Amino acid sequence: MVQDDTPGHRDAPVPAAGTGVSFVMPVLNEAGYLQRAVQTVLAQELDGPAELVLALGPSTDGTTELARRLAAGDDRIVLVDNPGADIPKGLNLAIRASTHPTLVRVDAHSELPPGYTRAALAILAGTRAANVGGVMRADGRTPFQRAVARAYNSPIGLGGGAYHGSASAGEAESAYLGVMRRSVLDEVGLFDETIRRGEDWELNLRIRRGGYRVWFDPALSVTYWPRESWVRLARQFRATGAWRGELVRRYGRRNSLRYFAPPALLVVIALAVVLGVLQLTRVLTGWPSAVASIVYLPLVAYLLVIVGVALSGAGGTGRAGWRDTLWTMIVLPTMHLSWGVGFLGGAFTGARDTIDTSRLGSRNTPLP
């Protein structure tokens, strides 16, 4: 009998009630966030056993020492070394060290609300999906971090992916973090260690190619704490854009059209700059100059949208002040342009050894 691999046509197996759950978390320079993230994981109420496997990169801010203290105080925490520091390698090391049939990916910059895992397991069983995720609900403590959170929560910021605010449950392209059936991962393969960013999208592509469902449900949400400085944000988005460009090189049109918006913005800016120089030097005049000036219209519209989002408070966390508004006007173009620069480099020359340097040498301020 020929297996039908059309996405959504295969049901993922449902383990027996009361079987365990393994949480897997790659960690690097997260001294300010790790303890809270671990606490919210260990506080999840489940019907069976649970473990949290931390894949420890070579941190320089005391994260490793903190992780060891946490593990010494709770035997549910398992530590594995991730000397290469790459996220997909760390995830695979954690998965291989885990023991339960359902995997929950968690992030040191995230916090799980009470009941998250129990609800996700019910959705997995009810939909027979291989992976389920919910909304990434960004938040912040400082005006800058709140502005980044507003950008994350707004469709303008990250292009309108389901897990940034969709209100409808259903099959999805990918899943934020993800609650996954290990048997399906064993079948399709774990995370691709040659992909340093966007590894979750690529894994979900293979899951869907295998005929399984990837499911989004807005009833699930996870708090995410963004980068704390402009430089770190720009570095993060440049690396993310570079790897999306690499994924376009590898998988072409399987990538959503929304990924092409930031590089298109860069192209329009470049054309506008060239046109402006030609007009100022009087090389281009008359009706040709007037017709060519149409290129300015998308930039004017873009600036109006940025100002509108900043002033409206869309995607806000409920504590916005004038500093939040000003930072939002800076953060949104930073995200778009950094991502676009990275994308063009990745698309034309490949991401190669591009890494997210925003995670290196972090000095995060602990959360209260």
**DSSP string across 287-316:** HHHHHHGGGHHHHHHHHHHHHHHHHHTTT-
**pLDDT band at 354, cuts 50/70/90?**
confident
CA atoms of 242 and 264, how far apart (whole Å): 15
Q: Evaluate if residue 107 carries a pLDDT over 80.
A: yes
- Shared domain check, 213 and 66: yes
- Shared domain check, 282 and 191: no
- Shared domain check, 202 and 278: no
Q: Evaluate if residue 368 carries a pLDDT over 50.
A: no
What predicted TM-score, i.e. pTM, was given to this entire model?
Answer: 0.88
For 1, residues 6+ apart whose C-beta sits below 8 A from its C-beta are none
Q: Residue 115: which domain range?
A: 21-227
The CATH number of residue 96's host domain is 3.90.550.10
- Shared domain check, 212 and 73: yes
Tell me what the mean pLDDT of segment 31-36 comes to: 94
CA atoms of 332 and 229, how far apart (whole Å): 14
Give the phi and the psi of residue 78 in degrees, each rounded to 5: -115, 135
Decide which of 60 and 257 is more confident.
60
238 inside domain: no
- Shared domain check, 258 and 211: no
- Shared domain check, 167 and 40: yes
Alpha carbons within 13 A on the beta-carbon side of 146: 17
CA atoms of 54 and 77, how far apart (whole Å): 7
Q: Amino acid identity, residue 124?
A: L
- 31 in Cβ contact with 61 (< 8 Å): yes
- 348 in Cβ contact with 268 (< 8 Å): no
Tell me what the mean pLDDT of segment 10-29 comes to: 94
Give the phi and the psi of residue 269 in degrees, each rounded to 5: -60, -45
Tens digits of residue pLDDT in 168-207 = 899 999 999 999 999 999 999 999 999 999 999 999 999 9
Q: Evaluate if residue 279 carries a pLDDT over 50.
A: yes
**pLDDT band at 245, cuts 50/70/90?**
very high
- Shared domain check, 177 and 44: yes
Q: Which among 246, 114, 123, 233 has a CA at the least distance from the CA of 175?
A: 123
Mean pLDDT across the chain, nearest whole number?
90
- Shared domain check, 38 and 74: yes
Tell me what the mean pLDDT of segment 83-102 comes to: 95
- Shared domain check, 69 and 181: yes
Q: Which residue has the tokens 């707004």?
A: 154
- 124 in Cβ contact with 182 (< 8 Å): no
Q: What is the pLDDT of residue 312?
A: 84
Beta bridge partners of 77: 52
Q: What total of structural domains would you count in the chain?
A: 2
Whole-angstrom CA distances from 363 to 83, 240, 355 are 20, 21, 18
Q: Evaluate if residue 274 carries a pLDDT over 80.
A: yes
**pLDDT band at 159, cuts 50/70/90?**
low
CA atoms of 136 and 175, how far apart (whole Å): 10
- 140 in Cβ contact with 148 (< 8 Å): yes
- 162 in Cβ contact with 172 (< 8 Å): yes
- Shared domain check, 185 and 53: yes
Kindly give the interhelix angle for 296-312 and 261-280, rounded to the nearest 10 degrees. 120
204 inside domain: yes
Give the phi and the psi of residue 215 in degrees, each rounded to 5: -120, 140
CA atoms of 156 and 173, how far apart (whole Å): 19
Q: What is the largest CA-CA distance in the chain?
A: 76
- Shared domain check, 254 and 222: no
Whole-angstrom CA distances from 1 to 4, 184, 290 are 9, 20, 65
- Shared domain check, 217 and 100: yes
3-state secondary structure of 102: strand
138 inside domain: yes
